[in-house]
Amino acid sequence: MNWSEFFAMKGYGLYVWGSYGMAMLVFIIEIVMVRHRRTLIVQRLRQMRDAASNV
Amino acid sequence: MAINWFKYSAPSTFYGAAGKMIPWFAASSALLFILGLYLGFFVAPTDVQQSEAYRIMFIHVPVSILSMLIYLVMAGYAALGLIFNTRLSAMMASSLAPTGALFAFLSLWTGALWGKPMWGAWWVWDARLTSELILLFLYLGFIALHASIDDPRRADRASALLAIIGSVNVPIIYFSVQWWNTLHQGATIKLTGTTMHVAMQQSLLVMFLACWLYVITMALLRVRSIILERERNNQWVMELTEMKP
């Protein structure tokens, strides 16, 4: 089996790779969003602390 | 064993414990995804009836089962939060909801891409598909309701009620293929055994475990942010190492 045959999936390539591609995309987006949420809250907490210590 | 479970139900203790567990869950999930995809694409044979299109199963079935399972776990945490008034339970429920919604979406998406070549339709208003769509809306409703109430404790209680009532939909999805005449096929793997090829069973199992560990990883990562957001006025948060300049 060569690679172009593998990617063609006997004519079902669009459906098979469309499924796995979307799953991968969703996982990547979720990981980026979860990391972003953490960056935001840590930043905000640092600002809160700095604001409190400057009083 | 005398483990004090209530100790771990304190957000401050759980925050650190979750941080220690995340790398293990993430690494084992990644390894199992590689193994599962290898088994699913290079070891499992071509299906007699569905040719290569059946390989969608290895992602469709795990995300679909988990979309239901996550909902039950989420509703369970929500109920615990409602009964015992524990903050962490409600935070876990909020943490699971976005991942559950994404899994319900992936179930519908991969189902559409499997339905088109096999049934000739991306979508049919069939009991299985419709109840799964309702599951997606329940997740989105839970997230929206929680976000719409300013007081977090009140938001927890209101959305917990929605989660608990909505859980009646899960058995409806599960048994829909038995209760109604649907286009969707019934369960292939039953308690009495299966007719599925052993390599197909193995890749399905490994992909299921990989997705499960992914869900745990995401839930723990997200709940750590939720803990910080909601416990921000507590001294222990300010003393964390990540707060050091």
Q: What is the pLDDT of residues B18-61, one digit of tens each?
A: 999 999 999 999 999 999 999 999 999 988 889 999 999 999 99
| ipTM score | 0.93
| Residues B118 and B87: beta-carbon distance below 8 Å | no
- Identify the weakest region by mean pLDDT among A41-45, B45-49, B74-78: B45-49
B33 touches A: beta carbon within 8 Å: no
pLDDT value at B6 more than 80: no
Compute the distance between CA of residue B156 and CA of residue B89 in angstroms, rounded to an integer.
Answer: 9
> Is B113's CB within 8 Å of A15's CB?
yes
- Partner residue facing B221 (CB), from A14, A27, A34: A34
Is the pLDDT confidence value at A28 over 90?
Answer: yes
B36-65 per-residue burial string, b: 16 or more CB within 10 A, e: under 16: bbebbbeebeeeeeeebbbbbbbbbbbbbb
- How many residues are given for chain B? 245
- Test A19 with B232 for CB contact under 8 angstroms: no
Nearest to B117 among A12, A26, A42 (CB): A12
Among A6, A18, A37, beta carbon nearest to B113: A18
Given a cut of 50, whether residue B1 has pLDDT beyond it is: no
Q: Is B113 on the interface with A (CB under 8 A)?
A: yes
User: CB distance B106–A12 less than 8 Å?
Assistant: no
Choose from B91, B106, B139, B216 for mutation: most chain A CBs within 10 A: B106
Cβ-defined contact of B117 to A45 (cutoff 8 Å): no
Task: Name the H helices within A1-55.
Answer: 3-8, 13-53
Handedness of CA A41, A43, A48, A53 (dihedral sign): positive
Within 8 A of B102 by CB-CB distance, chain A residues are: 26, 30
Which residues of chain A neighbour B60 with C-beta distances below 8 Å?
Answer: 19
Please check the confidence at residue B200 and state whether its pLDDT lies above 60.
yes
Q: How high is the pLDDT of residue A1?
A: 67
Higher-pLDDT residue of B211 and A49 is: B211
CA–CA gap between residue B155 and residue B167 (Å, rounded):
18
Tell whether B206 is within 8 A of chain A (Cβ).
Answer: no
Average pLDDT in the B87-93 region? 95
pLDDT digits (tens, 9 = 90+) for B99-151: 999 999 999 999 999 999 999 999 999 999 999 999 999 999 999 999 999 99
Q: Residues of chain B with pLDDT > 90: what percent?
A: 74
